[in-house]
Structure 1
Amino acid sequence: MPSVGSDLHPNPFFFCKVVSPTTGVLMTHFDCIVVGSGHAGSFLIVDKCPPGWVGGNGYFTAGAHRTVHGGLQDLLPIVSNLSSEVVDRIDMEPYTRDQFFEDIMRLGNGKADPAIVSAVVDNSRDAIQWLAQSVKVPFVFSFHRQAYEVDGRQKFWGGMVLSVEAGGKGLISAHQDALSKAGVELWFDTPCVELLRESNTIAGIVVRRNGVNIPLKTSAVILAAGGFEASSELRTRYLGPEWERAKVRGTPYNTGDGFQLARAVGARTTGDWAGCHNTAWDADAPDDAGARDVTNQYTKSGYPLGIMVNSDGARFVDEGEDFRNYTYAKFGRAILSQPGGIAFQIWDAKVIGSLRKEEYGDGIVEKTMANNIEELARELSAKGLKDSGALIRTLNEFNAAVERRQRDFPNQKWDPAVKDGLSTQSNSCHLDIPKSNWALPINQPPL
């Protein structure tokens, strides 16, 4: 998403102790004011949302954190969900500085600012340590998202091994507890409506509180007010007309206010305004805001273990191109560009048990079960599939390609914790859209 920077002050953003108002006494000068109450804005004063929506989009995440690390022994001191028996069965490779840097640059198609990326990467491990020790964020190893059991061992994959107990809910709860202990007061239902300038410097903000505009002077303002994903108008303007129908994963209060506030005082815009973070999301989820009870469980990221087809019954991405961490954001965009903006994810009994229960459990997602391909096509025709014959052909061609690959390379082993090279491409068969890894025939009921 885009960002804003300013030439008004040589060092506009810095960390300092927040002096917050005491109950009943309205103070109008602060050392620092932060606009927003998500993970990015840990020291907070004002937020336009009501208390029930505290946490911004951070609340709706899985609480996953990517950091440089030296492997299992490096991270053991900061996690809390391990016994010695479990530790002995973990395989975890280090995630190096170069890997982290290259992943960001590669996934951003080279558009990211190398200096900013270096700052993020080089300080990532210290940031995790600070969150664990000072904010008391309850980090755990992400067995449910980033590890598969292979030959009796927990094999972590994709570099990102940490998450937070209770996900985004636990993350924001830890921040709230830390703020409370520090004596910081949060003003909810208090939108920032203006940045104040004095002598070519940002000198404060104006907030609307109880229907009254109140100027607040400060030595520093930090905008942590989120993006514009909850504004259908701005999505359409910057991302394209199909984005009007995109579902909002998180808070409905991220409507681009921070960008507009900064632009109004001459801030320079930068970043990729035509790009965004977009994931496969349950078609039955609410349209305009996430559900605070379900949060990230509406994510549907099990596609590397199966296939995805559009409503015409055709595959449209290489589901095994890379680990889920590196494809889900762009595959969400690919789904939105399909007819009706929807897709079907398909697996068989061989892999259903490997799908994450928090995403695919009973009561979380609508499931269609069938004993064979033809029955599955009939069932899905009642749920938006337009061409059942095309789906049957797609699955038959996919299965035939996988089986030919297995005949040509009989010693290849399916392993979801590595890029196993088990693909649809062989000496005798090439699909127009390959599946490059984790390809198994979809033929064992139930489908």
Structure 2
Amino acid sequence: MPKFVIVVGTGNAALCAAIAALETGADVLLLEKADAALAGGNTKYTAGAMRFAYDGASDLIPLLRDPEDARLPNTDFGSYTTEKFGQDLLGFNDGRALSDEQQVLVKTSGATMRWLASHDVKFEPIYSRQSFEKEGRHVFWGGLTLAAENEGVGLFDMELAAVERMGGTVRYDSAVTGLIMDGDAVVGVRVGDEEIRADAVILASGGFEANADMRVTHMGPNWEAAKVRGTPHNTGDGLVMARAAGAMDYGLFAGCHATPMDLHMAEFGGLHLPPGERKNYRKISYFLGVMLNAEGARFVDEGANFRNYTYAQYGAAILEQPGQFAWQVFDSKVFDLLYGEYRFHDAHFVEADTLEELVALMEGVDGSAALATLHAFNAAVDDSTPFDPTALDGKSAKGLTPPKSHWAQKIETGPFRAFPVTGGITFTYGGLKVNDAGSVMTEAGSPIPGLFACGELVGGVFFGGYPGGSGLTSGAVFGRRAGYGAAQG
């Protein structure tokens, strides 16, 4: 008889686990805490970008929904090797070597993308956010090139369609409230008073980012103020259940993906917005200006690297500032380069013709100190180096603490705009230890029979931050592995 596998959750990792298990002939039931409209975990809230290793355009074309796109002949995708992917992850490891989990992510990222494409999960180049036009060509930067068609909603829809084509079943409004144990083995789940027995259970229910108490416990008091970029349903349920079954904690529980967000957004992400607008509360063009805290001081190197190497950390940096907010300041030279989220109908900002007038409008900020900071920044800008947003241009503001290493232009041409921001948490890094089959491990180093995990619940994948687009890829990589492990184990 085919094995019966229960998957807890319906996000990207859960759906990839279901697809893999169905491939092996298993019967699969997905249990979703939310109703159908809010299903999909954090996946629907994302922009759908996925980072993976590739050698060149020939590796990308087979993954595209429209391989005849007229822009492709005039596009420079470059390459993104496994070595470069590993180096990028090391840059966020705070001195740690690549973990076993990171090595799996790097080495299998390309194969996992090809596997998704084989199930009609297709992608499109991220022309609007990851390329600049240069000498008549679209030049991609930062190693991130493709996103799911129709962003995170499209990724969810395509993966769910694959699950349903293959015979998988989804039950909504079915929050798993506990695991059924037979000795040390997991043999099913509880949904309220209902018991559902299974040969294997895959936990893919997300991290604890939507649980303020757990955030404070593991990450500190500043994190109570964090906006939750995604679903309100990722409240750490799978982590709690796995711990009760004997699982070990693993990874950096104080770490998370945290992005600068509009200070006045709602407490949680909004699925009421059209897919293309769900990312619009992000504010990640800070590299084109400066960020000032309540004391009127800069606190990060806004131009340390391409924004997809810094944005997942700078939300946390904002939450460390007085009042857990900051202002992003730009002059009119860069208005046309700001991402569309800055022109979103619900974007909050102030505008003035002079810097003196602008700082007076920046609520909660020491205006005199802010003005002094802006003048000092302008005086430190290197005017001899040309500005080039397609490269690490070396156009810096030196002699400051912190410096601005690239893309430093004087903030001198009015009108000026300032956008209030805070930290928005996307997902947490602490989770569970899993083995090569995706089985959840105990403190003693043995797998818990019948219990598997993937997605945000896998610890050890990210530490001090991550290069953008790695999260969805990680979910797919470890979801696929858990699905095969649960169905074949």
Q: In which range does the TM-score fall when normalised by the shorter chain?
A: 0.7 to 0.9
| Residue 7 (structure 1) aligns with | none
Taking a change above 3 Å as real, the CA distance of residues 372 and 83 of structure 1, as seen in their structure-2 partners, is farther
Residue matched to 2:352: 370
Higher strand share: 2
SS at match of 1:180: helix
1:44-59 correspondence to structure 2 within 5 Å: 45-59=30-44
**Matched residues in 1 for 2:183 and 2:219: separation?**
36
Partner of residue 168, structure 1: 152
Distance 2:126 2:69 in 1: 17
Offset at residue 82 of structure 1 (A) = 6.0
| Residue in structure 1 matching 2:179, options 195, 208, 215 | 195
Q: Are 1:214 and 2:194 matched, yes or no?
A: yes
Query: Which protein is bigger by CA-based radius of gyration?
Result: 1
- Say if 2:263 is the partner of 1:263: no
What is the distance in 1 between the residues matched to 2:121 and 2:402?
Answer: 42
Give the structure 2 partner of residue 102 of structure 1: 87
Contact 2:294 2:326 in 1 (8 A): yes
Structure 1 residue 287: Cα displacement: 1.3
How many angstroms apart in 1 are the aligned matches of 2:251 and 2:348? 37
Change (3 A) 1:387 1:240: same
1:190 to 1:112, Cα distance in 2 relative to 1, 3 A = farther
Deviation at 1:189, TM superposition (A): 1.1
Pairing partner for 2:333 from 350, 367, 376: 350
SS for the counterpart of 1:186 is: strand
| AA aligned opposite 2:146 | L
TM-aligned CA deviation for residue 197 of structure 1: 2.3
> Which segments of 5 or more consecutive residues in structure 2 lack a partner in the other structure?
19-28, 417-489
Which residue matches 2:371? 392
Say if 2:293 and 2:365, in contact at 8 Å, map to a contact too.
no
Q: 1:86 aligns with which of 71, 86, 90?
A: 71
The equivalences for 1:137-176 within 5 A come to 137-176=121-160
Report the secondary structure of 1:347's partner residue.
strand
Q: CA–CA distance in 1 between the matches of 2:71 and 2:268?
A: 41
**1:280-328 Cα deviation digits (max 9, x unpaired):** 0111111145444142221110001111111222111000011111111
Give, in angstroms, the shift of residue 150 of structure 1.
Answer: 2.3
Q: What does residue 432 of structure 1 align with?
A: 401
**1:181 maps to what in 2?**
165
Contact 1:248 1:290 in 2 (8 A): no
Corresponding position: 1:442 with 2:408 = no
- Aligned partner of 2:266 in structure 1 is 286
Q: Is the 8 A contact 1:239 1:275 kept in 2?
A: yes
1:62-141 equivalent positions in 2, closer than 5 A: 62-81=47-66, 85-111=70-96, 114-134=99-119, 136-141=120-125
| 2:241 is the alignment partner of 1:241 | no
Task: Tell me, in whole angstroms, the C-alpha distance in 2 between the residues paired with 1:147 and 1:204.
Answer: 47
CA distance in 2, matches of 1:121, 1:337: 31
Give 1:10's aligned residue.
Answer: none
Partner amino acid for 1:258?
G
Distance 2:99 2:178 in 1: 31
Q: C-alpha distance in 1, partners of 2:324/2:134?
A: 35
Counterpart residue identity of residue 328, structure 2: Q
Give the superposed CA RMSD. 1.8
Q: TM-score if structure 1 supplies the norm length?
A: 0.86
Moved more, 247-256 or 186-195: 186-195
Amino acid at match of 1:318: D
Q: Would the aligned equivalents of 1:81 and 1:141 in 2 still touch at CA under 8 Å? A: no
Establish whether residue 418 from structure 1 lines up as the match of residue 391 from structure 2: yes
Secondary structure (helix, strand or coil) at the match of 1:254 reads coil
SS at match of 1:280: strand
User: Secondary structure of 1:333's partner?
Assistant: helix
1:77 deviates by 2.1
Q: Give the Cα separation in 2 of the matches to 1:401 and 1:233.
A: 43
1:120 to partner: Cα distance = 1.2
User: Residue 327 in 1 paired to residue 307 in 2?
Assistant: no
TM-score, with normalisation over the residues of structure 2? 0.79
Contact persistence 2:184–2:245 (CA under 8 A): no
Number of the residue aligned with 2:455: none
Does 2:9 match 1:36? yes
What is the percent sequence identity of the aligned residues?
A: 39
Whole-angstrom distance in 1 between the partners of 2:374 and 2:45: 34
- Name whichever of 270-279 and 283-292 sits farther off: 283-292
Question: Which SS does the other structure have where 1:296 is aligned?
Answer: coil
* Residue 228 (str. 1) matches residue 208 (str. 2): yes
* 1:83 positional shift: 5.0
